[in-house]
Structure 1
Amino acid sequence: MKMGNLYLFGLLWTVNLASARTHSYHYFYTATAGIPGFPEFVVVGMVDGEQISYYDSISKKVIPRQEWVKGAVDADFWRRNAQILLGSQQSFKANIEIVKQRFNQTGGVHTLQQMVGCEWDSENGTTDGFWQYGYDGEDFISFDMKNMRWNAPSPQGGITKNKWDSNRDENEQKKSYLTQICIDWVKKYVGYGRSTLERKVPPEVSLLQKDPSSPVTCHASGFFPSGIVMSWQKNGKDLHEDVELGETLPNEDGTFQKMSRLRVKPEDWKRDTYTCTVQHKGLKEDIVKKVYEEEIRTNQEKSPPVAIIIGVVVAVLLVAVIAIAGFMVWRKKGKPGFVPANTSDDRSDCSTDSLVKA
Structure 2
Amino acid sequence: MSMPRTLVLVGVLFMSIFSASSEVHVHQAIFIYGVGTTKIPKNMSSTFADGLQISHYDSNSGTFNSSWEWMRESMKTCWEEYKHLCLSENARLKYEFDSALEHFRRKEDVHIFQWISYCTWDDESGDFEGYEEYGCNGDDFILLDVKKRRYIAHTPEAAPITDLWNKKKAWIDSRIQYYTSACADCVKMSVAKLHATVRPEVYLWQKNSSSPVGCLATGFYSRAVKIMWQRNGEDVHGDEGEILCNGDGTFQKRSFLRVKPEEWRKNRYSCVVQHQNWKDKIIKNVTEVELKNEPKPSVLHDPKRTHSWAVISFISFLFTVFYCIHEVCSWADLARTML
Which TM bucket (shorter chain)?
0.5 to 0.7
Give the aligned partner of residue 208 of structure 1.
Answer: none
TM-score by length of 1: 0.53
Specify the SS of the correspondent of 2:147.
Answer: coil
Partners of 2:141 and 2:99 lie apart in 1 by: 13
Residues 22 and 6 (structure 1), Cα distance of their counterparts in 2 relative to 1, 3 Å cut: closer
Instruction: State the partner residue of 1:149.
Output: 150
**Paired residue type of 1:74:** K
Query: Which of 43, 46, 51 lines up with 1:44 in the alignment?
Result: 46
2:188 matched to which residue of 1? 187
SS at match of 2:41: coil
User: Equivalences for 1:228-239 in 2 at 5 Å?
Assistant: none
**Corresponding position of 2:203:** none
Q: TM-score, normalised by structure 2?
A: 0.55
Residue 112 in 1 paired to residue 113 in 2?
yes
Q: Distance in 2 between matches of 1:26 and 1:167?
A: 25
The unaligned stretches of length 5 or more in structure 1 are 204-218, 228-247, 252-317, 327-358
Q: CA deviation at 1:188?
A: 2.6
Name the residue aligned to 2:312: 249
Provide closer, same or farther for how the CA distance between residues 92 and 188 of structure 1 changes in structure 2, counting only shifts above 3 A: closer
**RMSD of aligned C-alpha atoms?**
3.7
Q: Tell me, what secondary structure is at the counterpart of 1:69?
A: helix
Query: Aligned partners of 1:39 and 1:6: how far apart in 2?
Result: 21
Change (3 A) 1:324 1:178: farther
CA drift of 1:160 comes to 1.9
Match of 2:262 in 1: none
- Mapped to 2, the partners of 1:183 and 1:128 lie a distance apart of 8
Q: Match of 1:125, SS?
A: coil
Secondary structure of the corresponding residue to residue 151 of structure 2: strand
Letter of the 2:104 partner, please give it: F
Residue 322 (1) aligns with residue 335 (2): yes
Deviations along 1:108-167, one digit per CA (max 9) or x if unpaired, are 432101112211112222211102211111211111111211111222212122222222
Change (3 A) 1:2 1:179: farther
Contact 2:6–2:140 under 8 Å retained in 1: no
Structure 2 counterpart of 1:67 = 69
What do the CA deviations read for 1:211-252 (whole angstroms, capped 9, x no partner)? xxxxxxxx984212559xxxxxxxxxxxxxxxxxxxx5229x
- Matched residue, 2:176: 175
Pairing 1:266-277 to 2, within 5 Å after superposition: none
What is the deviation of 1:176? 1.4
Residues of 2 paired with 1:191 and 1:70: CA distance?
13
Tell me if the contact between 2:101 and 2:107 (Cα under 8 Å) persists in the aligned partners: yes
CA spacing shift, 1:180–1:83, aligned 2, 3 Å? closer
Check conservation: 2:45, 2:90, Cα contact below 8 A.
Answer: no
Does structure 2 conserve the Cα–Cα contact (< 8 Å) formed by 1:128 and 1:178? yes
**1:10–1:49 CA contact under 8 A, matched in 2:** no
> 1:223 matched to which residue of 2?
306
Q: CA deviation at 1:33?
A: 2.6
> Which has the greater radius of gyration?
2
What corresponds to 2:164 in structure 1? 163
Which of 32-41 and 155-164 deviates more?
Answer: 32-41
Percentage of identical aligned residues: 22
Matching residue of 1:121: 122
| CA distance in 1: counterparts of 2:147 and 2:76, whole angstroms | 34
**Contact 2:100/2:161, CA 8 A, preserved across alignment:** no
Greater helix proportion: 2
Q: Which structure is higher in RCO with an 8 Å CA cutoff and minimum separation 6?
A: 1
Query: Matches of 1:21 and 1:222 in 2, distance apart?
Result: 21
Secondary structure of the structure 2 residue equivalent to 1:249 = helix
> Structure 2: where are the runs of 5+ without partners?
196-219, 226-241, 246-301, 315-330
| Distance verdict in 2 for CA 1:4–1:74, change over 3 Å | same
In structure 1, C-alpha distance between the alignment counterparts of 2:337 and 2:82, rounded to whole Å: 17
Q: Does structure 2 conserve the Cα–Cα contact (< 8 Å) formed by 1:25 and 1:186?
A: yes
Shift of 1:73: 2.8
> What amino acid does structure 2 have at the position aligned with 1:71?
E
